[in-house]
Structures are given as C-alpha cells and as structure tokens.
C-alpha cells in the first residue's frame, strides 16, 4: 500500500514537522448512467430531482475583502532541546553513547561526558521560528489558532494583513482538539464570527491563511466530508475540505459564503508534504465550545466515565444479539471509577447517552468528553440480550490517568503443558499466571478463529461474558451460545495485557 502523510500544517523554519504515515483508499461516484442496461435501471428507479441551484457566483472577492482584515499570521519564537535526553537513576543525563571496548580511542571521551563520567551536561536549547495562521474573534483582541502552532513558544507575534504587528499572550491551549486562544491588546479590532447553522457536504468554503509564510493567501473549495477521524488525533470529527491548504495554513479559518467561520484548518493528507486537495478542519461547533472554556478559565475540563472501550463489529453484534453494529463495548471499567460505581460491567455495550445514539467508541469518547464533570448522564446498555439503563455521575477527565488505566503491565506467560484442541480450531491450555482464562497454543489456519486474528499466546478470558478457565468450561459456553440460536460467540481475549472483544463465527 502506498504510504501518505497526515501532516500538521504549521510552517516550521529549521525544524522537522511531525508526520504520521497512513494509507488511504479511493472512492469514485458515478453521476451519469449510460447504455441500454443502465437505461433499464433508470426506468425501474425513482427519479432524483435536484432543487434549483443558485446562479453561478461571480466570485468571492467581496467576501474576501470583508473577512481578510480579521485573518492574521502567527509568528512564533520557540526553543527545544538539541537532542532528547533522559536522566539516569542518579540524576545524570543519559546520552545513549555506544558501549565501546576497552582501549578504543574514544572510550575515555564518552566516559567523561556520558554515564561513565561526570554525569554529562544538559544540551543547550535549540531556538527556532515557526509560522501559522489565526483569526480574531472579538473586538478586544482574542485570537484563535492551533495548539501545535504555539506549542513551546517563548514569544508569539500576531501580524495583520496591513502589516501591523502585536505581541500576543497565550490565554490557553487544548492539546486534544489542537486549539489555542491568544490575546492581543486592542479595541474595536476587526473580527469574524462562527457559523450559526452547521455546514453541509458540498457547501463552498474559502480558506484564508499564511501558507509558506506568504500571508493573506485565499483558496476556494467545498466541504468534501465530515466526521473524519484522522491518524494522530484522539478527538476525530474533522471536516474534510478540498480548498488548497499547505504548510503555514494551520490555525487559519475556513469560511462559508456568509463570511462565517465553519472550521479551523489543522492538517492535510499528503504523499509529498504539499496540497493534494485533502485537508482537515476542526468544525465550528467544537471550536466555539473549546474556545469559550479557554477564555473563561484558560483550560478545558471534560467529563470522565472511566471505561476502556472498543467498537462494536458486525461479529460482536451477532454474538450478543444486536441488530445493528453500533455502540461501544466495555472492555473493562476502571477500578473505583464512575462507571464501575454505577454498575457497568465488562462486556456491556453502551448504545446511547442521554437518548442520543452512540455509533462507535470514538463517538462515545467525544460525547462523554463534551459533558460537564459532576453531571449525571443516562446510559443505555445492552446486556445479556436485553436493554437496560444506568445513571452515572461523571468525574473530571485526567487524561494521563485515563491513558494509564487502559494499560495492563502484566503479560501472559508461555503456554503450559497438556494442551487440548477445542471445537473452534483453537488449541488451549490453562493459564498458569494466576489471571485465569485459557492460553492459545495453536490455531488451525483454516478455522474462523484464524480469520478473526486469534494468535498463539492470546488469552481467552470469557465466552459471552462467562469466565472460562478450562476446556470443559469453554466448550460449555460455546454450546450455550448455540443453544440460544446464535451463530457467533462473543470472545473476550487478551493480548500483551490488553483485553479486547472479538465476535467468533461458530461455522466456516
């Protein structure tokens, strides 16, 4: 597969830009059906009538002239360590020097400045400059941009289209959504507002920004998609636009034809680092909420449920009797967290929050994060083939603690002796590490289990929410699934200490 780049679009002068390699597939859409066979399809189908479109616009010059005074270039002075180093157990800096043999001419040199000598000195900070874009949202000087534009900044300068420069202070940043708010001195400054109605796919967008440090550059396109989840982001829900966006456009606005901000340009999809017609913007609905919190308190607080979750696949839905593969299945509730206190269990599928449908794990994360801490939410749960509802009082999200809760430091031990072959193509042995379950010693390559990715060393913990520790318990649980008339078993498995649910078909 050809690799491409999801790239943040700030301009880094003398510094390498952080990029994530991802793959992508293409989709084509047919607009005209031709040929006799196609004509037959049209005759048997309901004709689509498109509403009359407005007359072609003469251009966007008036719109640009109106909004351009509020769009600014962001110049950043920053510093970072010349090389990433860590302190050793005695407080010295670990430079990871090579382990040279005795008598090597450079060994004394490395011992003097490395771990073997005086502990080393911290490297001098490396100064650099970066550039991005932003826009003014109030007459008294609040400016919106991307977090990654001003991250690690020692000085931020806002440059207006007429060349006026103002030194800015950072009011607050939010890494999760990649947003930041700056403040400059001023009164009656030109500013723009956010859209009052959500834009739709196909709507015009006009991007204004500072690509490659050129400043005041205007590009035009349409909204190509919405709800995009791009690599490297733990938030998702981006607008996709095809207006040309390049390095330096980060933090700049995308406008609708009313001159309202529909999104903040933040990343591009690119195989070569330049524009290929696929860019991503944070939608205005998100920006408004985050920006207001940053202005009010300088930080963002989010609701915390306390669960590790994953998407509900078609196989998982079949295994629990759900008609639609939607929702988020709970791997484990965090010990003493809000979810556990409310009675949520491993294997529960959260299908709605306060009556709003949950599509997948990311949707649940975004929904809960958008709730106020200490508020109570009603969760719709699918458990044991029936729907139930639970009320949960949320806590404040501590992202570091939440990330740590998803990690289990213990790993399965090597398979124990006396393996037994199961009816589903897995050869299983009792788990000898005290954590229960069965370890997979072998997988029949022709079995559905192999097709679903089960591998040697995985631990089988539960079958349809029933713990299993012996082959007899495993087979009894499989038989119970069949007795219910289901063709898929919900398997809770663990790999490298991380539990996941997998829907296992019981026939080829």
**Residues marked as catalytic:** 148, 178, 250
Tokens of 173: 């940043």
Are the beta carbons of 289 and 283 closer than 8 angstroms?
Answer: no
What is residue 354's three-state secondary structure? Answer: coil
- Compute the distance between CA of residue 27 and CA of residue 99 in angstroms, rounded to an integer: 52
The vertex-395 CA angle with 144 and 283, nearest 5°, equals: 30
Distances (CA, A) of 82 to 15, 118, 126, 148, 155: 11, 20, 5, 19, 19
| Exposed/middle/buried for residue 260 (C-beta within 10 Å: 0-12, 13-18, 19+) | middle
List strand residue ranges (DSSP E) for 348-458, in order: 349-353, 356-357, 376-383, 386-393, 395-396, 420-421, 426-430, 438-443
- Compute the distance between CA of residue 174 and CA of residue 293 in angstroms, rounded to an integer: 10
For residue 431, the 8-state DSSP code is -
Residue 140 region by backbone torsions, left for phi larger than 0, else alpha for psi between -120 and 50, else beta: alpha
Tokens of 5: 């780049």
């Amino acid at each position: 597969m050809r690799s491409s780049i999801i790239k943040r679009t700030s301009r880094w002068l003398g510094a390498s830009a952080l990029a994530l390699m991802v793959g992508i597939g293409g989709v084509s859409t047919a607009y005209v059906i031709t040929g006799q066979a196609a004509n037959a399809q049209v005759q048997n189908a309901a004709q689509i009538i498109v509403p009359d479109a407005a007359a072609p616009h003469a251009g966007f010059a008036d719109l640009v002239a109106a909004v351009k005074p509020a769009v600014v270039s962001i110049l950043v002075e920053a510093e970072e360590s010349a090389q990433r180093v860590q302190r050793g157990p005695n407080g010295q800096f670990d430079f990871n020097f090579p382990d040279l043999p005795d008598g090597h001419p450079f060994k004394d040199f490395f011992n003097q400045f490395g771990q073997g000598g005086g502990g080393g000195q911290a490297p001098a900070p490396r100064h650099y400059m970066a550039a991005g874009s932003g826009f003014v949202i109030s007459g008294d000087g609040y400016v919106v941009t991307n977090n990654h534009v001003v991250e690690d900044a020692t000085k931020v300068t806002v440059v207006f289209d007429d060349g006026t420069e103002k030194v800015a202070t950072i009011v607050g940043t939010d890494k999760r959504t990649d947003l930041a708010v700056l403040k400059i001195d001023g009164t009656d400054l030109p500013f723009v507002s956010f859209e009052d109605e959500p834009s739709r796919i196909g709507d015009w967008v006009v991007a204004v920004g500072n690509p490659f440090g050129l400043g005041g550059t205007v590009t035009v396109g349409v909204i190509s998609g919405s709800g995009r989840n791009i690599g490297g982001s733990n938030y998702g829900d981006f607008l996709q636009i095809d207006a040309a966006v390049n390095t330096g456009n980060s933090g700049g606005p995308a406008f609708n034809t009313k001159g309202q901000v529909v999104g903040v340009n933040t990343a591009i999809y690119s195989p070569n680092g330049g524009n290929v017609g696929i860019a991503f913007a944070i939608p205005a609905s998100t920006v408004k909420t985050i920006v207001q919190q940053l202005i009010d308190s300088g930080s963002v607080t989010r609701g915390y449920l306390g669960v590790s979750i994953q998407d509900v696949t078609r196989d998982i839905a079949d295994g629990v009797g759900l008609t639609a593969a939607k929702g988020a299945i709970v791997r484990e509730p965090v010990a003493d967290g809000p979810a556990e206190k409310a009675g949520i269990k491993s294997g529960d599928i959260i299908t709605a929050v306060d009556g709003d449908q949950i599509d997948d794990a990311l949707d649940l994360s975004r929904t809960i994060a958008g709730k106020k801490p200490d508020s109570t939410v009603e969760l719709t749960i699918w458990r044991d083939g029936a729907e139930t509802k639970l009320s949960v009082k949320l806590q404040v999200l501590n992202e570091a603690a939440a990330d740590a809760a998803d990690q289990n430091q213990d790993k399965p031990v090597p398979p124990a002796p006396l393996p037994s072959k199961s009816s589903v193509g897995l050869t299983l042995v009792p788990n000898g590490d005290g954590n229960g379950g069965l370890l997979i010693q072998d997988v029949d390559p022709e079995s559905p289990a192999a097709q679903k990715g089960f591998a040697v060393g995985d631990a089988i913990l539960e079958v349809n929410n029933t713990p299993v520790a012996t082959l007899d318990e495993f087979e009894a649980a499989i038989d119970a699934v069949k007795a219910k008339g289901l063709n898929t078993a919900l398997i809770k498995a663990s790999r490298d200490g991380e539990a996941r649910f997998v829907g296992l078909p019981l026939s080829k």
